[in-house]
Structure 1
Amino acid sequence: MGKRKKAAKRPQSSRQKVPLDTAFTCLFCHHDKSVTVRLDRKEGVAQLACRVCDQRYQSKVNHLTEPVDIYSEWIDAADAAQRDEPAARPAAASSSRPVAVMASDDSDDE
């Protein structure tokens, strides 16, 4: 039996894998690269925080989630909050007691 020939090296393709950003511009204070995203895949939670103005956002993650995905979700959530879309916001906790309305004593008709 003869020796195997070494496989010829393939020329590297012109498209190289470019890593995605992990530091982003803050929507509120507009500082470049001040927002960082931490993914905890074991717990299934992502945390986004601005180190300048301390804005924070938290979201669920799966095995395909990348930091840019969490940043995009944050932008969408901020837009929805600005438009006051009640369907986009989670229901706020409320007490079961009704709010008491104070009666005004401005009537001098007696």
Structure 2
Amino acid sequence: MGKRKSSSKPQGPKKREPLATTFTCLFCNHEKSVTVKVDKKAGVGTLQCGVCGQNFQCGANYLSAPIDIYSEWVDAADAVAKEEAASAPRAPAASSRKQAVDNRYDDDEDDRRYEGEGIVGDDDEY
């Protein structure tokens, strides 16, 4: 007949790894230099880089975690970068293309000017 299964000890609760509160800075690229603090009572999340001194604050609620504050900072930095890129004056691409085409035709004209010079039919006799 078969053996009875031995009863195993009940496993205790699994230990959860704490969520990170230090991150990489977007501006100076130092790892673990950005510290995030969440004050849930005041409803404010604060982020600060210890190397370059960048600061950021945003609203937080009772569910907010440090990664949420960091993500909002990344989104805000991307929005500012897009806004600056849109407002920056651009060099007209059409004029640079036209200038390149004009230079090409100038080179062709130079080649036509000197086409018959330099090579003479008598050079093969030497």
Normalising to structure 1: TM-score of the pair?
Answer: 0.63
Give yes or no for contact 2:21–2:37 (8 Å, CA) kept in 1: no
The corresponding residue for 1:3 is none
How many pairs align? 77
Shift of 1:12: 4.5
The corresponding residue for 2:54 is 55
- Superposed CA RMSD: 2.0
Whether 2:64 is the aligned partner of 1:65: answer: yes
Counterparts of 2:21 and 2:10, CA distance in 1? 31
The corresponding residue for 1:74 is 73
Structure 2 unaligned regions, length at least 5: 1-7, 85-126
Shift of 1:40: 1.2
Shift of 1:9: 4.5
The corresponding residue for 2:10 is 10
Aligned to 1:84, what secondary structure does the other structure show? helix
Structure 1 unaligned regions, length at least 5: 1-7, 86-110
* Dislocated runs of 4+, deviation >2 Å: none
Aligned to 2:28, what secondary structure does the other structure show? coil
Shift of 1:51: 0.8
Normalising to structure 2: TM-score of the pair?
Answer: 0.56
The corresponding residue for 1:25 is 24
Letter aligned with residue 49 of structure 2: C
Counterparts of 2:23 and 2:58, CA distance in 1? 17
% of aligned pairs identical? 53
- Find the structure with the greater CA-based Rg: 2
Aligned to 2:45, what secondary structure does the other structure show? strand
